[in-house]
Amino acid sequence: MKIYDQIDSLQLALSSYRKQKKIGFVPTMGALHMGHLSLVRRALKENSCVVVSIFVNPTQFDNKTDLEKYPRTLAQDVSLLRTLKGTILIFSPEVSQLYPNKITSTQYHFGSIASQMEGKYRKGHFNGVGTIVRLLLKAVQPHTAYFGEKDFQQLQIIKKLVALEKLPVKISGCAIVREKSGLALSSRNSRLSQKQREEATLIFHTLTEVRKKFKTHSIAQLNQLVAERFLNSSLKLEYFEIANEITLRTAERKRKNNKYRAFIAAFAGSVRLIDNMPLN
Ligand code: PAF
């Protein structure tokens, strides 16, 4: 398994595959876990060669401390990837490879899908994500790129980015991978104490309760219920939203034939966690 830190050498290595074979791509910020590995496994199944990028992208962090504290575990990530069978190329560039001039984001107009939730609470986040994903897709030029549904809003943003920029790539969303406890796998979980890890399962349990009660309760009642669950816990709720799955607009009441999804962002201490679940 080779690690590339230059776009040129990665592209040279990929040129031999590109002609006859399919290239899959899994962009990550490292600190890999079983959720990432499930993306890589799916990519390996559907392609003959898979590029995994490991790059902590500075432009998508609105908080300097969060960027500094983001776990960086390259050696461990490589060992995990080595446990998989198949052709994997790791792309782990320095910041200057992807941002040679200025570390700055392109300003995108993603519309309503970017205005709520992560777009509202993390200023500039989706411009940063759009910027880096575009740069990575241009560097790798894969047939298909794979993203987890834990970042459901990000997945919709990336689909929109690809449409806006007319990029020749298929975007595949992959189901959330959870611990036995229900906690969604995330690189940030490594910063949780054992106690916080247990407490953080409230996120999954609340989403599950909302899903069960979705048919019989109004959205206002569900909003109230979630606020109460978090009020009585050690987690700090940043937002709970029931949103239309397509537009990602906050839903105030249910409409026939619409699909809804519930979204939560909450802090366990200083660790920010997000999760979501389809409701109907
Ligand atoms: O989901 C992530 O890990 C990141 O947002 C991504 C897509 C790799 C871009 O930096």
State pTM to two decimals.
0.96
88, part of any domain: yes
Nearest CA to ligand 1 atom 10: 57
Same domain flag for 87 and 214: no
Distance 109 CA to ligand 1 centre (A): 19
Percent of the chain beyond pLDDT 70? 100
212 and 258 in contact (C-beta within 8 Å)?
A: no
Q: Could you give the 3-state DSSP secondary structure of residue 52?
A: strand
Nearest CA to ligand 1 atom 6: 28
Same domain flag for 20 and 145: yes
pLDDT tens for each residue of 79-129: 999 999 999 999 999 999 999 999 999 999 999 999 999 999 999 999 999
Nearest CA to ligand 1 atom 5: 129
Alpha carbon distance 164, 123 (integer Å): 21
pLDDT at 18: 86
Q: How confident is the model at residue 228 (pLDDT cuts 50, 70, 90)?
A: very high
The separation between CA 47 and the C-alpha centre of its own chain, rounded to angstroms, equals 21
Spell out which residues line ligand 1, taking CB within 6 angstroms.
Answer: 27-29, 57, 60, 129, 132-133, 151, 154
56, part of any domain: yes
Which residue of 26, 105, 154 sits with most ligand 1 atoms within 8 Å of its CB, as the best mutation to test the pocket?
A: 154
Same domain flag for 21 and 148: yes
279, part of any domain: no
Distance 51 CA to ligand 1 centre (A): 14
pLDDT at 202: 98
User: In the annotation, is 36 catalytic?
Assistant: yes
8, part of any domain: yes
Residues with Cβ within 8 Å of residue 157, at least 6 apart in sequence: 110, 113, 114, 126, 129, 130
Same domain flag for 221 and 112: no
- How buried is 11 (Cβ within 10 angstroms: 0-12 exposed, 13-18 middle, 19+ buried)? middle
222 and 242 in contact (C-beta within 8 Å)?
A: yes
179, part of any domain: no
Q: How confident is the model at residue 271 (pLDDT cuts 50, 70, 90)?
A: very high
Q: Which domain holds residue 240?
A: 187-273
pLDDT at 20 over 90: no
Distance 129 CA to ligand 1 centre (A): 7
Looking at the structure of the chain, the number of domains it has is: 2
Residue type, 201: T
pLDDT tens for each residue of 133-157: 999 999 999 999 999 999 999 999 9
Distance 235 CA to ligand 1 centre (A): 25
pLDDT tens for each residue of 177-226: 999 999 999 999 999 999 999 999 999 999 999 999 999 999 999 999 99
Please report which helix (H) or strand (E) contains residue 119, including its range.
helix 118-121
Q: Which of 188, 186, 185, 120 is nearest to 153 (CA)?
A: 120
CATH number of the domain residue 11 falls in: 3.40.50.620
Distance 137 CA to ligand 1 centre (A): 12
DSSP letters spanning 200-234: THHHHHHHHHHHHHTTTS-HHHHHHHHHHHHHTSS
| Nearest atom within ligand 1 for CA of residue 28 | 8
What φ, ψ does residue 148 adopt, rounded to 5°?
A: -80, 150
pLDDT at 16: 85
| Nearest atom within ligand 1 for CA of residue 55 | 10
| Nearest atom within ligand 1 for CA of residue 158 | 7
Distance 120 CA to ligand 1 centre (A): 18
280, part of any domain: no
Nearest CA to ligand 1 atom 3: 28
256, part of any domain: yes
Q: Could you give the 3-state DSSP secondary structure of residue 141?
A: coil
Nearest CA to ligand 1 atom 1: 28
Residue 250, number of CB atoms within 10 A of its CB? 18
Average pLDDT, the chain: 96
Widest CA span of the chain, in angstroms? Answer: 58
Provide the sign of the torsion angle of the four alpha carbons 80, 145, 50, 89, taken in this order: negative
Which residue of 62, 127, 129 sits with most ligand 1 atoms within 8 Å of its CB, as the best mutation to test the pocket?
A: 129
Percent of the chain beyond pLDDT 90? 96
* Among 33, 36, 205, 217, the one annotated catalytic: 36
Whole-number CA gyration radius for the chain? 19
Same domain flag for 45 and 117: yes
192 and 200 in contact (C-beta within 8 Å)?
A: yes
Alpha carbon distance 92, 7 (integer Å): 10
181, part of any domain: no
96 and 55 in contact (C-beta within 8 Å)?
A: no
Which of 7-11, 32-36, 69-73, 238-242 is predicted with the least confidence, judged by mean pLDDT? 69-73
Same domain flag for 98 and 229: no
Phi-psi region of 210 (alpha: psi -120 to 50; beta: other; left: phi over 0): alpha
Alpha carbon distance 183, 197 (integer Å): 8
